[in-house]
Amino acid sequence: MTNRTFTMIKPDATEKGSTGGILAMINAAGFRIVAMKMTHLGAGKAGQFYEVHKERPFYGELVEFMSRGPITAAILEKENAVEDFRKLIGATNPANAEEGTIRKKYAASIGENAVHGSDSDENAAIEGAFFFNKLEQF
Ligand code: CMP
């Protein structure tokens, strides 16, 4: 187990001005931001990031959505980071997300679900390295 996870605040949340509110919830839950940047993924980069979902029926829609506008990418540090962050963001489908979770408060649908959180330590390392080199991680 490592103590880091990776997150993206997605284009829907950026458009709605929810970035600050989401970061405040992340901080309040005890996560330390050790890397962060706002950027706009092109379809190529978005497709590469979500390559594991390439065969899924929603892949095209997902790539289109994730390249629609700016995102904020960050690496977060906390004991048990991956599992605790997934609890904080709530279920992928906001209709199933519990009260007090980020997706319950900010997400509109299973596709436009406001935030991403890594699902394993291994993917957290891969996804963090996709956006940040060593000099950009503190
Ligand atoms: P995320 O946690 O970023 O990982 C994969 C993403 O695919 C997921 O959040 C959703 O945004 C998206 N996704 C998962 N299932 C569906 C679905 N059935 N339809 C559309 N998008 C989906």
Phi/psi of residue 39, nearest 5 degrees:
-155, 165
pLDDT of residue 12: 98
21 part of a folded domain = yes
The Cα–Cα gap between 29 and 47 comes to 30
63 part of a folded domain = no
Write the Ramachandran bin of 65: left for phi over 0, alpha for psi from -120 to 50, otherwise beta.
Answer: alpha
121 part of a folded domain = yes
Residue 53 is among the residues annotated as catalytic for this protein: no
Task: From the candidates 85, 116, 117, 118, give the one annotated as an active-site residue.
Answer: 116
Q: How far does residue 53's CA lie from ligand 1's centre (Å)?
A: 9
Q: How far does residue 135's CA lie from ligand 1's centre (Å)?
A: 30
Which residues are near ligand 1 (CB < 6 Å)?
Answer: 53, 58, 61-62, 92, 110-111, 113, 116
Q: How many CA atoms lie within 13 A of 135 on its CB side?
A: 0
| Calculated CA dihedral for residues 96, 80, 123, 35, nearest 10 degrees | 100
3-state helix, strand, coil in the chain (%, to 5): 45, 15, 35
Q: How many domains does the chain have?
A: 1
Q: How far does residue 68's CA lie from ligand 1's centre (Å)?
A: 15
Q: Residue 89 CA: which ligand 1 atom is closest?
A: 2
pLDDT of residue 116: 98
CATH number of the domain within which 106 lies: 3.30.70.141
pLDDT of residue 30: 98
Tens digits of per-residue pLDDT, 119-133? Answer: 999 999 999 999 999
Tens digits of per-residue pLDDT, 36-89? Answer: 999 999 999 999 999 999 999 999 999 999 999 999 999 999 999 999 999 999
117 part of a folded domain = yes
50 part of a folded domain = no
Tens digits of per-residue pLDDT, 74-128? Answer: 999 999 999 999 999 999 999 999 999 999 999 999 999 999 999 999 999 999 9
Expressed as residue numbers, the domain containing 79 is 4-41+72-136
Give this prediction's pTM.
0.96
Please choose, from the candidates 119, 115, 99, the residue with its C-alpha nearest in 3D space to the C-alpha of residue 107.
115
Q: Residue 119 CA: which ligand 1 atom is closest?
A: 2
90 part of a folded domain = yes
